[in-house]
A and B are shown apart, each in its own frame.
Chain A
Amino acid sequence: MELPFIELLTWDNIWALVIIVLKVMAITLPLFGCVAYLTLAERKVIGYMQLRIGPNQVGPKGLGQPLADVVKMMFKEFIIPSDASKVPFIIAPMMVLIPALMAWAVIPFDEGAVLADINLGVLYLLAVSSLGVYGVLIAGWASNSKYPFLGAVRSGAQMVSYEVSMGLTIMTVILLAGSMNLSEIVEAQRGMWYMIPLFPMFIVFIISILAETNRAPFDLPEGEAELVAGFHSEYAGMGFALFFLGEYANMILMSAITAIIFMGGWLPPVSTPLLNAVPGFFWFSLKVAFILFVFLWARATLPRFRYDQLMRLGWKIFLPFTLLWLVVVASSMHIFGLVN
């Protein structure tokens, strides 16, 4: 029998495939490194904010702590509860991590340094980031236990609520930039970062990404005091590690999106020859690091919201406010003749 697709196996095709796989590796492997050291940064930053030192035993200044954590996680036993629904229980952690990684395909790190420069980049990001909620819902359901279930239901409602205000916020940026391509959005900010004319939207977006990633002060799905650990109570070892990786990868992703749509991505703060000589990747990482710091700062300073307050903020305050602001931006663009 002749295989119908055998002619696809040319060296050119295989070579193209290898190049793509290498590019994907070049993005994901450093990302895992960033996630590992973000956990250390979190413990250090919160430690200093609470007048503690944080981890300082493993390696110089505690820099080996993430490695120790990784080794510990890998050698722990992966326990599947006897009443759990097995296949969903195992798939759920992957379904949290994979969308968080998929989204990086369209993120431009520097001018031209992007894996897939697609025209609908923003829409792709919104679509992919809306998939993460399934991992959480399935994990809570498959565990067959009451605390994970409550955590999953809370988390699902929360993520769906804040996606609305995030989408409307991004819409104002798309209006100003006149494009859904992330590289073009960055280029459109050469004169002025969008966080200046759209400052209220910037604040709404920062708060929404805190809620979207289930981080403090909106970390109700995993509220220790009432839900033990929320949707991942029943997970141990690598299953838990994957949830952890997914949450932190999502944090970095959301910070990168904020840096791109509000803070000019790879562009330097002011366009002088000296600052322009610095590689764009440096500026991009600096901005991402700043927003990540805001994440940790919020966790160290703010008390947790009550659930009804969280829903009220999302639906009764952010939704009308962003809708109104969208109309304001659109009409002022029309009045001042900025329509592109």
Chain B
Amino acid sequence: MFADLIFYVFAAILLFSGMGVVVARNPIFSVLFLILSFFTCAGLFVLLGAEFLGLLLVLVYVGAIAVMFLFVLMTIDIDFAMLKEGTASYLPVGLLVGGLMVTELVLAAKAGVFSGEMVQQAMPVPGDVQNIVAIGQVLFTDYLAPFQLAGLILLTAMIGAITLTFRRREGVRRQNINKQVLTRREDAVEMKKVKPGQGLV
């Protein structure tokens, strides 16, 4: 009962922040609303008993990916007026896609996809097994090969992105960290005995 109340509160915040992402005038606010919606989503996951997924969502999306978004947006120079130009011309397409998705959702709900029995079927884990243990067992036994493959593909994508954007420039002075670390006092400082009245010759 109490969980229901919390669900409605979270769902309301989620919808509100989702709207915020789209309508916010400043892109920085859009990202902040996006973070709020990630966080609320994590709350909903926890409410459904999927604590691991909820915390993972916070850790990966809020803790890493959204920080990247904020970083990029903060460091580029944005012309707000330019951004808003021509928004109206995209409106019909946006409404079409949105309407299509709503129709699909309503049809799915009519067909009973979200009914209690279907949800029960989707949760085959017996009650006393810990969330993370269950995920680990499935992931590293039944789906080991696809899991490793996904990791390899991501690695390849990362290396590809780095090699595509990497450019070697000539004539750039670089720091040699090893040389800096290995520098001794004797390399830079020399002690001289200076006699009064004479100075260094």
Contact = CB atoms under 8 A, between A and B. Distances in A.
Note whether A and B form a binding pair.
yes
Interface of A: 5, 7-8, 13, 88, 118-120, 123-124, 126-128, 130-131, 133-134, 137-138, 140-141, 149, 152-153, 156-157, 160, 163, 180, 308-309, 312
A137 B74 CA distance: 9
Interface size bracket, B side? 20 to 34
Nearest to B63: A130
Contacts of B4: 5
A123 B54 CA distance: 10
A157 B58 CA distance: 18
Interface string B61-79: 0111001001100110000
Nearest to B71: A156
B36 to A, nearest CB: 10
What does DSSP make chain B's interface, helix, strand, loop or mixed?
helix
A220 to B, nearest CB: 16
Contacts of B51: 118-120
25 contacts: A5-B5, A7-B1, A8-B2, A8-B5, A119-B51, A120-B55, A123-B52, A126-B63, A127-B59, A128-B58, A130-B59, A131-B58, A131-B62, A133-B63, A133-B67, A134-B67, A137-B70, A137-B74, A140-B74, A141-B28, A152-B74, A153-B75, A156-B71, A160-B67, A163-B63
B32 interface: yes
A159 B114 CA distance: 41
A141 B2 contact: no
A180 B63 contact: no
A55 to B, nearest CB: 36
A8 B1 CA distance: 8
Given A120-B132, A133-B63, A153-B71, 15 more contacts: A5-B1, A5-B5, A13-B2, A120-B51, A123-B52, A126-B59, A130-B58, A130-B64, A131-B58, A131-B62, A134-B35, A137-B74, A141-B28, A141-B74, A157-B71
B188 interface: no
B175 interface: yes
A130 B62 contact: yes
A120 B52 contact: yes
B67 A156 contact: yes
B177 interface: yes
A153 B62 contact: no
B148 interface: no
Interface of B: 1-2, 4-5, 28, 32, 35, 51-52, 55-56, 58-59, 62-64, 67, 70-71, 74-75, 130-132, 175, 177
A126 B58 CA distance: 9
Nearest to B5: A5
Contacts of B32: 88, 138
A2 to B, nearest CB: 15
A122 to B, nearest CB: 10
B42 to A, nearest CB: 8
Contacts of B71: 137, 153, 156-157
Contacts of B67: 133-134, 137, 156, 160
Most chain A CB within 10 A, of B67, B71, B177, is at: B67
Contact of B175 (A123, A134, A180, A308): A308
A124 B63 CA distance: 12
A192 to B, nearest CB: 25
Nearest to A312: B177
Contact of B55 (A7, A124, A160, A312): A124
A180 B59 CA distance: 15
A90 to B, nearest CB: 14
Nearest to B51: A120
B5 A127 contact: no
Contacts of A131: 58, 62-63
A141 B175 CA distance: 31
A160 B64 contact: yes
B4 to A, nearest CB: 8
Contacts of A140: 74
